Amino acid sequence: MSSNKDPRKEKIKSLIRTIPDYPAKGIQFRDISTLMADKEGLALVADLFYEQYKDAKIDLVVGIEARGFILGALLAYRIGAGFVMVRKEGKMPVGNGVETIKESYQMEYRSATTIEMHTDSVKPGQRVIIIDDLLATGGTLLAAAKLVERLGGTIVELSCIVELPDLGGRSKLAGYPLYHMVEFEGD
Protein backbone atom coordinates (compact mmCIF):
# COMPACT_ATOMS: atom_id res chain seq x y z
CA MET A 1 0.00 0.00 0.00
CA SER A 2 2.87 2.36 -0.71
CA SER A 3 0.48 4.51 -2.75
CA ASN A 4 -0.94 5.83 0.56
CA LYS A 5 2.44 7.01 1.81
CA ASP A 6 3.11 10.72 1.75
CA PRO A 7 6.44 11.22 -0.05
CA ARG A 8 7.13 14.26 2.13
CA LYS A 9 6.95 12.11 5.26
CA GLU A 10 9.11 9.44 3.64
CA LYS A 11 11.71 12.13 2.90
CA ILE A 12 11.56 13.36 6.51
CA LYS A 13 12.05 9.82 7.82
CA SER A 14 15.01 9.25 5.51
CA LEU A 15 16.75 12.34 6.93
CA ILE A 16 16.58 11.19 10.58
CA ARG A 17 19.81 9.56 11.72
CA THR A 18 19.82 6.54 14.05
CA ILE A 19 22.60 6.33 16.63
CA PRO A 20 22.71 2.88 18.27
CA ASP A 21 23.40 2.48 21.99
CA TYR A 22 23.07 6.19 22.76
CA PRO A 23 22.72 7.49 25.44
CA ALA A 24 22.64 3.95 26.90
CA LYS A 25 23.13 0.43 25.60
CA GLY A 26 20.03 -0.85 23.81
CA ILE A 27 18.68 2.60 22.92
CA GLN A 28 18.28 3.48 19.24
CA PHE A 29 18.56 7.27 19.38
CA ARG A 30 16.58 9.02 16.63
CA ASP A 31 18.60 12.14 15.90
CA ILE A 32 16.69 14.92 14.12
CA SER A 33 19.77 17.15 13.80
CA THR A 34 20.39 15.76 10.31
CA LEU A 35 16.78 16.54 9.38
CA MET A 36 17.04 20.09 10.74
CA ALA A 37 20.33 20.68 8.91
CA ASP A 38 18.77 19.78 5.57
CA LYS A 39 16.99 22.84 4.13
CA GLU A 40 14.46 20.73 2.22
CA GLY A 41 13.83 18.56 5.28
CA LEU A 42 13.33 21.56 7.55
CA ALA A 43 10.95 23.11 5.02
CA LEU A 44 8.94 19.87 4.83
CA VAL A 45 8.61 19.76 8.63
CA ALA A 46 7.50 23.40 8.71
CA ASP A 47 5.01 22.83 5.89
CA LEU A 48 3.45 19.72 7.45
CA PHE A 49 3.05 21.37 10.86
CA TYR A 50 1.54 24.43 9.17
CA GLU A 51 -0.93 22.30 7.18
CA GLN A 52 -1.97 20.51 10.37
CA TYR A 53 -2.68 23.70 12.37
CA LYS A 54 -3.30 26.59 9.95
CA ASP A 55 -7.06 26.62 10.61
CA ALA A 56 -7.02 25.50 14.27
CA LYS A 57 -7.19 29.00 15.84
CA ILE A 58 -4.23 28.38 18.15
CA ASP A 59 -3.27 31.00 20.75
CA LEU A 60 -0.01 29.45 21.94
CA VAL A 61 2.50 26.84 20.89
CA VAL A 62 4.28 25.33 23.88
CA GLY A 63 7.72 23.93 23.04
CA ILE A 64 9.56 21.45 25.24
CA GLU A 65 13.30 21.93 25.82
CA ALA A 66 15.34 21.71 23.70
CA ARG A 67 14.26 20.55 20.26
CA GLY A 68 10.68 21.61 20.92
CA PHE A 69 11.96 25.19 21.07
CA ILE A 70 13.07 25.02 17.44
CA LEU A 71 9.91 23.33 16.20
CA GLY A 72 7.57 25.35 18.39
CA ALA A 73 8.95 28.75 17.46
CA LEU A 74 8.86 27.81 13.77
CA LEU A 75 5.24 26.67 14.02
CA ALA A 76 4.12 29.62 16.17
CA TYR A 77 5.51 32.05 13.60
CA ARG A 78 3.87 30.23 10.69
CA ILE A 79 0.38 30.14 12.28
CA GLY A 80 0.50 33.54 13.99
CA ALA A 81 0.51 32.26 17.58
CA GLY A 82 2.59 33.05 20.64
CA PHE A 83 5.36 30.73 21.83
CA VAL A 84 5.99 29.47 25.38
CA MET A 85 8.95 27.47 26.65
CA VAL A 86 8.82 24.48 28.98
CA ARG A 87 12.27 23.97 30.47
CA LYS A 88 14.12 21.58 32.72
CA GLU A 89 13.89 22.46 36.39
CA GLY A 90 16.06 25.38 37.48
CA LYS A 91 16.46 27.01 34.07
CA MET A 92 13.53 29.45 34.18
CA PRO A 93 14.27 32.83 35.78
CA VAL A 94 12.24 33.48 38.94
CA GLY A 95 11.99 36.23 41.52
CA ASN A 96 10.37 39.63 41.87
CA GLY A 97 6.92 38.06 41.58
CA VAL A 98 7.83 35.73 38.71
CA GLU A 99 7.10 32.10 39.61
CA THR A 100 7.04 28.69 37.95
CA ILE A 101 5.00 25.53 38.28
CA LYS A 102 6.68 22.13 38.02
CA GLU A 103 5.84 18.59 37.00
CA SER A 104 8.01 15.46 37.32
CA TYR A 105 8.01 12.41 35.05
CA GLN A 106 10.03 9.28 34.28
CA MET A 107 12.14 9.18 31.12
CA GLU A 108 12.87 6.19 28.88
CA TYR A 109 16.54 5.93 29.81
CA ARG A 110 17.01 8.19 32.86
CA SER A 111 15.73 8.70 36.35
CA ALA A 112 12.89 11.10 37.09
CA THR A 113 13.10 14.53 35.51
CA THR A 114 11.23 17.73 36.35
CA ILE A 115 10.10 20.41 33.91
CA GLU A 116 8.66 23.84 34.61
CA MET A 117 7.04 26.86 33.03
CA HIS A 118 6.19 30.36 34.20
CA THR A 119 2.83 30.69 35.94
CA ASP A 120 1.86 33.64 33.72
CA SER A 121 2.72 31.99 30.41
CA VAL A 122 -0.71 30.44 29.69
CA LYS A 123 -3.99 32.21 30.35
CA PRO A 124 -7.23 30.33 31.14
CA GLY A 125 -9.04 29.29 27.97
CA GLN A 126 -6.09 29.78 25.61
CA ARG A 127 -5.92 27.15 22.87
CA VAL A 128 -2.56 25.39 23.00
CA ILE A 129 -0.50 22.96 20.94
CA ILE A 130 2.36 21.25 22.78
CA ILE A 131 5.26 20.25 20.56
CA ASP A 132 8.39 18.14 20.95
CA ASP A 133 10.64 16.29 18.55
CA LEU A 134 9.80 12.75 19.59
CA LEU A 135 7.23 10.66 21.46
CA ALA A 136 8.74 7.66 23.24
CA THR A 137 7.16 6.78 26.60
CA GLY A 138 4.98 9.90 26.68
CA GLY A 139 6.28 11.19 30.00
CA THR A 140 7.53 14.54 28.75
CA LEU A 141 4.44 15.42 26.72
CA LEU A 142 2.14 14.30 29.54
CA ALA A 143 4.02 16.41 32.10
CA ALA A 144 3.84 19.44 29.80
CA ALA A 145 0.10 18.84 29.25
CA LYS A 146 -0.45 18.76 33.01
CA LEU A 147 1.36 22.10 33.38
CA VAL A 148 -0.75 23.74 30.66
CA GLU A 149 -3.97 22.38 32.15
CA ARG A 150 -3.03 23.54 35.66
CA LEU A 151 -2.78 27.06 34.22
CA GLY A 152 -6.19 26.74 32.56
CA GLY A 153 -5.07 26.23 28.97
CA THR A 154 -7.04 24.08 26.54
CA ILE A 155 -4.89 21.51 24.78
CA VAL A 156 -5.83 21.26 21.12
CA GLU A 157 -3.22 18.63 20.27
CA LEU A 158 0.12 17.15 21.25
CA SER A 159 2.51 17.14 18.32
CA CYS A 160 5.88 15.68 17.33
CA ILE A 161 7.92 14.65 14.33
CA VAL A 162 8.69 11.08 15.45
CA GLU A 163 6.64 8.51 17.33
CA LEU A 164 8.20 5.30 18.68
CA PRO A 165 4.98 3.25 18.99
CA ASP A 166 6.56 0.22 20.64
CA LEU A 167 7.41 2.28 23.74
CA GLY A 168 3.74 2.87 24.57
CA GLY A 169 3.67 6.65 24.77
CA ARG A 170 0.38 6.94 22.90
CA SER A 171 -1.46 4.91 25.55
CA LYS A 172 -0.06 7.14 28.31
CA LEU A 173 -1.46 10.13 26.40
CA ALA A 174 -4.94 8.63 25.92
CA GLY A 175 -7.51 11.39 25.92
CA TYR A 176 -5.25 13.86 24.11
CA PRO A 177 -5.28 14.25 20.33
CA LEU A 178 -1.84 13.37 18.99
CA TYR A 179 -0.14 14.22 15.70
CA HIS A 180 3.13 12.77 14.44
CA MET A 181 4.80 12.75 11.05
CA VAL A 182 6.76 9.48 11.05
CA GLU A 183 7.16 6.30 13.10
CA PHE A 184 10.10 4.08 13.85
CA GLU A 185 8.93 0.63 14.98
CA GLY A 186 10.88 -1.75 17.18
CA ASP A 187 12.51 0.92 19.30
Q: How many CA atoms lie within 13 A of 85 on its CB side?
A: 11
> Facing residues of 164 across strands?
none
Q: How buried is 72 (Cβ within 10 angstroms: 0-12 exposed, 13-18 middle, 19+ buried)?
A: buried
Q: Which of 144, 145, 139, 182 is CA-nearest to residue 160?
A: 182
* 3 state SS of 89: coil
Active site residue ranges: 67, 108
Residue by residue, DSSP assigns 153-168 as: -EEEEEEEEEE-GGG-
What does the DSSP 8-state code read for residue 26?
T
What is the SS3 string spanning 33-83?
Answer: HHHHHCHHHHHHHHHHHHHHHCCCCCCEEEEECCHHHHHHHHHHHHHCCEE
